[in-house]
Amino acid sequence: MRNIFLTLAFLALILSNISFYAASPVHLTLQDGTFVLQEEFKEIKTAELPLAIQEAVAVDFPNATILKAYVNEVKEYKLDLSMSGTTQTVYADATGKWINK
């Protein structure tokens, strides 16, 4: 009984110190018998992108064309870029800083 109490107290101490800073909203879906994490991005027009993101693309990907743009609830942007016949997906925040995902 004492071990169970100590284990629960230890878990409560650890879990109370966990924070979820700047976490993106995600949802689990079942595909082919496995759970897949999906972030909630909504497609927007490329003209609706913040100027900072448009400038970051022009500087860091000078030969790229923005094919599609998406935004989530915490104002993170997902961009599908076309460069030299290939498509690349990149993520940025509203200030034009790139995010690793």
Per-residue model confidence (pLDDT) at position 3: 72
Edge-first strand order for the sheet with 42-44 is 42-44, 65-71, 76-83, 86-93, 98-99
Nearest to 60 by CA among 40, 47, 79, 75: 79
> Tell me, what CATH number does 95's domain have?
3.40.1420
- pLDDT tens across 4-52, in order? 766 766 666 565 665 554 454 555 555 566 655 556 889 999 999 999 9
Total domain count, the chain = 1
pLDDT at 5: 62
Compute CA 25 distance to the chain's CA centroid, rounded to the nearest angstrom: 8
Give the residue-averaged pLDDT of 71-80. Answer: 92
The per-residue pLDDT for 11 is 61
Give residue-wise pLDDT tens across range 53-68. 999 999 999 999 999 9
Domain of 46, in residue numbers: 2-99
